[in-house]
Amino acid sequence: MTVLLVALGGALGAVARYLIDRRVQRASDSAFPWGTLTVNVVGSAILGLLAGWALAGGEPEAVRSFLGIGLCGSLTTFSTFGYETVRLVTERARLYAAANVVVTVFAGFGAAAGALVLAAALFG
């Protein structure tokens, strides 16, 4: 059953990542990878909420498998983040590349930490 939940969450997360990335990127009309940044920050926030819920004694295995491993595992994307950063460097958009690294890391950690604090307030 766990494998099925991971697969279902993964399928949902992959489709969501594609749709969100395309919509955000089309709206931004920029070389900066706003779509990938968006899905990575959203995924970090979801995982932060799950972590906060788990620390408060919640998060059954089924929820962790579906949302944490499946959905967030396919929604967030380190490989695309890495590829897009390298692409920006090779296209001589070094400022965008550096900004992508800094903003993604800090926004991801910030989203996870903020969501963890929110979960602690909600579930603690």
Residues 6-23: tens digit of each pLDDT: 999 999 999 999 999 999
Residue 29 in this model has a pLDDT that exceeds 90: no
Eight-class DSSP state of 65: I
Token duo for residue 21: 């990335």
Q: Is the pTM of this model over 0.85?
A: yes
pLDDT at residue 85 is higher than 90: yes
Band (101; pLDDT cuts 50, 70, 90): very high
pLDDT value for 118: 97
Task: Give the chain's mean pLDDT.
Answer: 95
Number of domains in the chain: 1
How sure is the predictor about 58, in pLDDT bands with cuts at 50, 70 and 90? Answer: confident
- Give the pLDDT score at 39: 97
Question: Over the Cα atoms of the chain, what is R_g?
Answer: 16
Residue 79's domain spans which residues? 2-123
Distance in angstroms (rounded) separating the CA atoms of residues 100 and 121: 31
Contact 71, 11 (CB under 8 A): no
Q: Which of 6-20, 33-47, 50-64 has the lowest mean pLDDT?
A: 50-64
